[in-house]
Chain A
Amino acid sequence: MINWPNFISQCFNGLVLGALLALISSGLTIIYGTLGVLNLAHGAMFMLGGYAGWLAYSYTSSFVVAVFAGAIFVMIVGVVMERVIIRHFYSRPHEDQLLVTFGLGIVFVEAIRFFFGGLSKAVPPPSFLAGITPVGFMFYPTYRLALLGIVVIALLALYLVLYRTRIGMIVRAGIEDSMMVGSLGIDVDKIFMLVFGIGAMAAGFAGIINAPVVSIAPDVGEMILVQTFVVVVIGGVGSFPGAVLGGLIAGQIISITSMFNPGYSYVMLFVAMTLVLVLRPYGLLGTAGRE
């Protein structure tokens, strides 16, 4: 199946997948960049966004309400989680941070399984985005096309917040040197809470907008988490533009490899990550020395 129409189609698949990975990874990377906490519950938050949205959808039948519910609920979960648990771990070793977030992830997943069972839940796309659209080289699900647009807008919004607002400036300064930011009299505590909330919200938002593509189940975040880490490593830990670039590259690697042999698509992704780690250990757009 190596021909031009298939190649273009696969590039397109890669773009949609890559955009989604970019969005989830950007949440992970700004949390890590600012707080130094690698949030292993990020995949679970992606899943929580899907379930919160699904629940809202089942009561209101409105996809828009579902998207807001998914994003806001997970932001609240993120803020509460940061205030109650995570902030006590800022000064503790990375191993402790990994364990506590890993544990929280398990708690979220099993709580969902307990209350809602293991069967997949479907959230249909809004009726005007259902069906398929001819895009010249192939027929493409309309919602996936829309998904690309939605993710681009979300990433743009995140970019504007990070690069065009005072809060964003403080967050970026915090990524570089949080101690210096604190000594300038800025309430770093509040900023940390906010960053954790925004990072979580990115995952929750991605979780619900992805639900019409991949129906949700308690384990839906597990696979995504692995891919997200690869994206962050490729792009550069703590770098927002790096997460976007890493996401797009990962999407293309998975899709284009699968045109030749689908069995190798994830192998190639890890090969790419290994190459980046060998040649540029701090990632494509990362900064040397940033932890």
Chain B
Amino acid sequence: MSQILKLGAVSRRKLLQAGVGVASGALLPPTLTTSALAVGDHPSIGTWPEGSKGDTVSIAAAVPRTGTYAVQGEDELKGWQLAVEHINNGDPLLKKIAPKVDKGLLGKKVNLLAADSAAKPNQAVQEIQTFINQNKILLMTGSTSSAVAVALNKFAQRERVLYVTGISGSNDTTGKDCVRYGFRQNFYGETAANAIGPVLVKAYGKGKKAAFMTPDYTYGHTVTKSVNDYLTKNGGWTQVTDQVSPLGTQDFSQYLTNIANSGADVIVNVNWGRDAVLSVQQAKQFGLTPKMQMVIPYQIPFLAKETGPELTEGVYAATDFWWTLEDKYPLAKMFVDAFYKKYNYRPEWGANNAYMSFAIWARMVSEARSFYPPDVISQYEKGEKFDSTVGEVYFRREDHQLVRPVVIVRGKKPSEMKNNEDYWEVLEVVPGEPLMQKPDAFGCNLGDYT
């Protein structure tokens, strides 16, 4: 009780309310008493308990709606919006992932705020800071660039507000830059490399020469390293050149000229977003493809739609989710149907990742029966298995990475497409655990709870 008084419940009326709350705790279901008890048990931390006091809790996304990753950002935002809608109306799909959610979270509606980050770390951090100050958000998300994810990771840890990544493919996000307050749902460089590597060696043979195209930031460098390490070690491949380009490059002619003169057999294109679209199109203009094989180790939402299926035909890619998985997983079917009904197109993996990351957060909060961040973190760290749109998954306690399968796809011939969004054929769903490095291999040190 002294804690409650310290926290500023000074009026007689509030004191009585709190007293009644605690006294009646034994008689009521735990969900209804959690916040009163939690306030009593814990000192305030981050935006808690302020952010959970009203009828509504706010969560926020800093997502690129302009710039190189704008198209993918919009798709992600739709995934988050759908998840929030499903949390608030207790949708059957969401309840399969988070059974204890019932038209809101712990009796409160969830409100999603969003701002344009343009995929810039400083902009994203500033926006989230504003949401923390003004809206007392209990969860932040965002990133379609790992540079943003890494920045928000550190920011989340400093502010003691939970962060679930948007799209982030860098090994560092749950590697050397991991934090106690950050969680990642999607696949990443190392798992992508170990999943697609065997497929490439089988398809193209051993001892090939590879030219890499790498965007110049943490995502690009770690994915290129993981893929190159795998191919060198297991396929005897050689990296003949690594063309590093800044994010937002429009003209790839200089890079493609270097590749044309490198004698490569395969182009491993790690570029992402619009950079990937332009580099794939221009590689064709320069006549590099189909003479050289193009490989996309970390698939890009809408790539095939933007370049046209002629340019992605026969291209191997590793991905998080593709809508035809609806034939394999019941939850995937429910998700694709719900998304299509609301937005009139089939979701790409960014939207799926966004939906899942919020649905999982809702699961953890509702299972922990608390918004208190260390309680929610502990719930994630229990490592309980649960159903998802790609089968059973769980979080790894040591680095907060979801253990989940990686999907290998290959671009379909235009003539084989069954509808105008049937760009990729799912070749394999590779189980996640064997693809992952040891939890400490990338230098993860999570930090404190409080």
Physical interaction between A and B = yes
A interface, CB within 8 angstroms of B: 1, 3, 5-6, 9-10, 13-14, 16-17, 109, 113, 118-120, 122, 132, 138-141, 143-144, 213-215, 217-220, 222-224, 254-255, 258-259, 261-263, 265-266
Chain B, 119-141, contact with A by CB distance < 8 Å: what is the 0/1 string?
Answer: 00000000000000000000000
Are B306 and A259 in contact (CB-based, < 8 A)?
A: no
Q: Contacts A144-B285, A262-B245, A263-B216 known; A215 to B254 CB distance under 8 Å?
A: no
27 A-B pairs within 8 Å (CB atoms) are namely A1-B258, A6-B261, A9-B261, A10-B257, A13-B253, A13-B257, A109-B66, A118-B70, A119-B71, A120-B277, A122-B308, A138-B260, A141-B287, A144-B253, A213-B282, A214-B278, A217-B274, A255-B254, A261-B244, A262-B254, A262-B255, A262-B258, A263-B216, A263-B244, A263-B245, A263-B246, A266-B246
Among residues of A, the one whose C-beta sits closest to the C-beta of B71 is A118
Are B258 and A219 in contact (CB-based, < 8 A)?
A: no
Among residues of A, the one whose C-beta sits closest to the C-beta of B288 is A139
Minimum C-beta distance from B69 to chain A (A): 10
B67 within 8 A of A: yes
B248 within 8 A of A: yes
Are A220 and B250 in contact (CB-based, < 8 A)?
A: yes
Q: Which residues of B contact A143 (CB under 8 A)?
A: 285
Q: Contacts A9-B257, A255-B254 known; A120 to B262 CB distance under 8 Å?
A: no
Interface of A is mostly: helix
> Which of A6, A144, A215 meets B277, CB within 8 Å?
A215
Among residues of B, the one whose C-beta sits closest to the C-beta of A266 is B246
The docked-state distance in angstroms from the alpha carbon of A259 to that of B253 is 11
Are A219 and B66 in contact (CB-based, < 8 A)?
A: yes
> Which of A113, A217, A258 meets B254, CB within 8 Å?
A258
Q: Contacts A6-B258, A214-B251 known; A120 to B287 CB distance under 8 Å?
A: no
The docked-state distance in angstroms from the alpha carbon of A13 to that of B285 is 13
Minimum C-beta distance from B115 to chain A (A): 15
Are A262 and B305 in contact (CB-based, < 8 A)?
A: no
B293 within 8 A of A: no
The docked-state distance in angstroms from the alpha carbon of A143 to that of B282 is 12
> Which of B66, B249, B261, B286 meets A1, CB within 8 Å?
B261
Are B302 and A215 in contact (CB-based, < 8 A)?
A: no
Interface residues on chain B, size class: 35 or more
Are B286 and A3 in contact (CB-based, < 8 A)?
A: no
Minimum C-beta distance from B292 to chain A (A): 13
The docked-state distance in angstroms from the alpha carbon of A210 to that of B253 is 13
The docked-state distance in angstroms from the alpha carbon of A279 to that of B398 is 56
Are B246 and A138 in contact (CB-based, < 8 A)?
A: no
Q: Which residues of B contact A120 (CB under 8 A)?
A: 71, 274, 277-278, 306
Are A259 and B254 in contact (CB-based, < 8 A)?
A: yes
B68 within 8 A of A: yes
Q: Which residues of A contact B306 (CB under 8 A)?
A: 119-120, 215
Q: Which residues of B contact A220 (CB under 8 A)?
A: 250
Among residues of B, the one whose C-beta sits closest to the C-beta of A259 is B258
> Which of B253, B274, B287 meets A139, CB within 8 Å?
B287
Are A9 and B244 in contact (CB-based, < 8 A)?
A: no
Q: Contacts A139-B286, A213-B285, A223-B248 known; A218 to B254 CB distance under 8 Å?
A: no
Interface residues of B in 229-272 (CB under 8 A from A): 241, 243-246, 248-251, 253-255, 257-258, 260-262
The docked-state distance in angstroms from the alpha carbon of A5 to that of B261 is 8
B337 within 8 A of A: no
Minimum C-beta distance from B13 to chain A (A): 49
B445 within 8 A of A: no
Q: Contacts A1-B262, A144-B253 known; A219 to B216 CB distance under 8 Å?
A: no
The docked-state distance in angstroms from the alpha carbon of A21 to that of B229 is 39
> Which of A16, A119, A219, A258 meets B255, CB within 8 Å?
A258
B281 within 8 A of A: yes
The docked-state distance in angstroms from the alpha carbon of A141 to that of B252 is 13
B425 within 8 A of A: no
B74 within 8 A of A: yes
Are B67 and A215 in contact (CB-based, < 8 A)?
A: no
Minimum C-beta distance from A137 to chain B (A): 10
Are A10 and B254 in contact (CB-based, < 8 A)?
A: yes
The docked-state distance in angstroms from the alpha carbon of A3 to that of B258 is 10
Are A132 and B277 in contact (CB-based, < 8 A)?
A: no
The docked-state distance in angstroms from the alpha carbon of A222 to that of B306 is 20
Q: Which residues of B contact A217 (CB under 8 A)?
A: 70, 274
The docked-state distance in angstroms from the alpha carbon of A213 to that of B252 is 10
Q: Kindly list 5 other residue pairs between chains A and B, CB separation below 8 angstroms, not including A118-B74, A122-B308.
A: A9-B257, A120-B71, A132-B286, A214-B282, A255-B253
> Which of A132, A138, A266 meets B257, CB within 8 Å?
A138
The docked-state distance in angstroms from the alpha carbon of A266 to that of B245 is 10
The docked-state distance in angstroms from the alpha carbon of A224 to that of B251 is 10
Q: Which residues of A contact B287 (CB under 8 A)?
A: 132, 139, 141
Q: Which residues of B contact A214 (CB under 8 A)?
A: 250-251, 278, 282
Minimum C-beta distance from A113 to chain B (A): 8
Q: Which residues of B contact A118 (CB under 8 A)?
A: 70-71, 74
Q: Which residues of B contact A213 (CB under 8 A)?
A: 251, 282, 285
Among residues of A, the one whose C-beta sits closest to the C-beta of B258 is A1
Minimum C-beta distance from A27 to chain B (A): 18
The docked-state distance in angstroms from the alpha carbon of A262 to that of B249 is 11
Are A218 and B285 in contact (CB-based, < 8 A)?
A: no
Q: Which residues of A contact B246 (CB under 8 A)?
A: 263, 266
Minimum C-beta distance from A211 to chain B (A): 11
Are A16 and B253 in contact (CB-based, < 8 A)?
A: yes
Minimum C-beta distance from A218 to chain B (A): 7
Minimum C-beta distance from A170 to chain B (A): 36
Q: Which residues of B contact A261 (CB under 8 A)?
A: 244
Minimum C-beta distance from B388 to chain A (A): 28
The docked-state distance in angstroms from the alpha carbon of A219 to that of B67 is 6
Q: Which residues of A contact B249 (CB under 8 A)?
A: 223
The docked-state distance in angstroms from the alpha carbon of A246 to that of B440 is 51
Q: Which residues of B contact A109 (CB under 8 A)?
A: 66
The docked-state distance in angstroms from the alpha carbon of A265 to that of B286 is 21
Are A262 and B253 in contact (CB-based, < 8 A)?
A: no
